[in-house]
A = this chain, B = another copy of it.
């Protein structure tokens, strides 16, 4: 058992904060929140003092591409196509050649470790990785103790042929991923398998139909980029006569629970369609800003009742896997886009990064309630930047908290960060190893 003792604030959810209480974790679940006498607990209970601190649900990064962490902080002064040609494509080609085809499997473990360290240290307990599933990727998540959703990327058109697997290889790999990691009950509760058709324009109708069939057969979630750019909408109208989400509906994909990533350029009709089909949208404000893609109509989505989760996207277009910054950027961006400072508030975006994130990942977390998965984060409130004269804690967390305030992180009932130190690996050694291996690819 783990006792989080005497928290100044327990943020069970954006709209439910308790003060001066304890949180008890038993196994992988939250067992009790309230006043708990430690003398009634087993002797080997781990006690974490949370005096003056806030305990919050682990943050959920509902969309990212882990491999891009090896491309952090690379040039930003190139237009998109040139940047792809000079920065991301060479790396992807190197990975495909050396790792996928020639079996140098260390690299997947390396980018997974790099992204996982950044996320855990920043209070992120769950993420969705839309990527190819190289050997070593998921094993690293398990070793470091983060909850991951593996959304196997699938494409069979538009992308340069040397940058994709053959349709047969894609299907084989996908079925193998499902076979290994997706069982009910799961072989490891940390891992969830999703299907990840990359985008409407990169998947043929045949592939989309195959994906829908597998999703039905195995009860899998689907994550797909939709309407990220105005170009994509024009291209869809030209090639299919439909807007992207309409097109996906026409091909049957929306018969299954789908999380639609970006959704920057949805029409009003598509927003209604998304609401009718229980689509969850994943908003990635910093990525949409950096790539100049546009501003998603979050207000209209929320008015239609669509749950909106939050993602950092990959580090090549952000460049941080930092949901505190992402939360405040989401709020600020809607306020300026609508010229209405009340457009999207702190409690809304906190919910995006927690409850709606859990919905997007199909996991039983995102709130601190008895019986929920024990994914939680202890925030040190002592920094000058977090100074408060009132108890309005959620706005303070959203607008002022930083990843450096994350003190302790618990995933699935396991302490993975304590007093800002990773408990499941030696951070310094890992970073040196990542640099050594990464240099073979850049």
Contact = CB atoms under 8 A, between A and B. Distances in A.
Interface of A: 69-80, 83, 114, 117-118, 121-122, 230, 286, 288-295, 318-322, 325, 329, 331-333, 335-336, 338-343, 345-347, 382-390, 392, 395-397, 399-400, 402-404, 427-428, 431, 434-435, 438-439, 442
A391 to B, nearest CB: 11
A439 B387 CA distance: 12
A403 B385 contact: yes
A439 B388 CA distance: 10
Contacts of A404: 402-404
Most buried by B among A117, A288, A345, A387: A387
Given A332-B289, A400-B319, A346 B76 contact: yes
Given A75-B392, A384-B431, 8 more contacts: A69-B387, A73-B392, A73-B396, A74-B395, A290-B341, A292-B335, A292-B338, A318-B399
A387 B345 contact: no
A325 B320 CA distance: 11
Contact of A389 (B78, B321, B385, B438): B438
Contact of A290 (B332, B397, B428): B332
B336 A295 contact: yes
B340 A292 contact: yes
A273 B335 CA distance: 30
Given A321-B385, A341-B79, A384-B431, A399 B291 contact: no
A26 B320 CA distance: 37
Given A335-B292, A400-B320, A427-B384, A70 B389 contact: yes
B78 A342 contact: yes
A75 B395 contact: yes
B80 A341 contact: yes
A67 to B, nearest CB: 12
Lowest 4 A-B CB distances belong to which pairs?
A: A73-B396, A404-B404, A289-B332, A289-B336
Most buried by B among A322, A336, A386: A336
B73 A294 contact: no
Contacts of A69: 387
B385 A320 contact: yes
A170 B408 CA distance: 50
Contacts of A289: 332-333, 335-336
A60 B440 CA distance: 39
Nearest to A428: B382
B341 A291 contact: yes
A227 to B, nearest CB: 14
A399 B347 contact: no
A434 to B, nearest CB: 7
A399 B319 contact: yes
A77 B388 contact: no
B390 A442 contact: yes
Contact of A347 (B77, B122, B325, B392): B77
A435 B291 CA distance: 42
A298 to B, nearest CB: 14
A146 to B, nearest CB: 13
Contacts of A319: 396, 399-400
B73 A291 contact: no
Contacts of A325: 325
Contacts of A382: 428, 431
Contacts of A387: 69-70, 72, 114, 118, 431, 434-435
A324 B390 CA distance: 27
Given A74-B392, A431-B384, A402 B400 contact: no
